[in-house]
Copies of this chain bind each other. A is one copy, B any other.
């Protein structure tokens, strides 16, 4: 593999992330142009649109993974969760449109598969909080995780619709999620 080919593959993946994050229906042609590459060259590296979207999502998640690594998950699980949710929210908001593209391009289950890493991180923290008695145990962790994701995605929609200020979002999300995770009978923080 020649060095410039590798460089182009990288540029295309980066452009795909950028374009699809703006418009989930961005065409292959647009992405090629954004990468500074001919459409044919792109097809040389990614046989189909689906594989391109897959690569873009994988790249975005990998980037996010690195960012989330910097979040301190020790100490009070509620505080830790709040920190993790804040950081995750940043990412969800940024890649929201890309996810939409993936949803009607990738085969069902593939997205879940790519999200295993981030979900695991969340699950570990959630389980620690459950052991400490600060998070509820009457609902499955998978449901709680998807609820957090849904709240974040919803916030992104509200911002897009102009009904919510981006500066308020993080606080709203944290408050809502922490309340939703509180075990029945316990006080909301």
Residues of A within 8 A of B (CB): 108-109, 112, 136, 138-139, 142-143, 146-147, 149-151, 153-154, 157-158, 161, 163-164, 172, 175-176, 179-189
Chain B residues with CB below 8 A from A163, complex form = 112, 142, 146
Chain B residues with CB below 8 A from A180, complex form = 176, 179-180
Of all A-B residue pairs in the complex, the 6 with the closest CB atoms, nearest first, are A150-B154, A180-B180, A150-B150, A182-B188, A184-B188, A179-B180
A139 and B109: CB pair below 8 A?
A: no
Chain B residues with CB below 8 A from A138, complex form = 175
What is the distance, in angstroms, from A68's C-beta to the closest C-beta of chain B? 21
B154 and A146: CB pair below 8 A?
A: yes
Q: How far is the CA of A111 from the CA of B187 in the complex (A)?
A: 37
Residue from B143, B146, B176, B184 within 8 A of A147 (CB atoms): B176
Please name the residue on chain B nearest to A179 by beta carbon: B180
Q: How far is the CA of A175 from the CA of B180 in the complex (A)?
A: 8
Q: How far is the CA of A45 from the CA of B147 in the complex (A)?
A: 41
A187 and B185: CB pair below 8 A?
A: yes
Chain B residues with CB below 8 A from A185, complex form = 187-188
Q: What are 8 A-B pairs with beta-carbon distances under 8 A?
A: A108-B161, A143-B158, A150-B154, A151-B151, A179-B181, A184-B189, A187-B187, A188-B188
A109 and B161: CB pair below 8 A?
A: yes
What is the distance, in angstroms, from A150's C-beta to the closest C-beta of chain B? 3
Q: How far is the CA of A180 from the CA of B175 in the complex (A)?
A: 8
Q: How far is the CA of A180 from the CA of B139 in the complex (A)?
A: 14
Chain B residues with CB below 8 A from A188, complex form = 136, 179, 182-188
B143 and A172: CB pair below 8 A?
A: yes
Q: How far is the CA of A187 from the CA of B157 in the complex (A)?
A: 30
Chain B residues with CB below 8 A from A147, complex form = 151, 154, 176
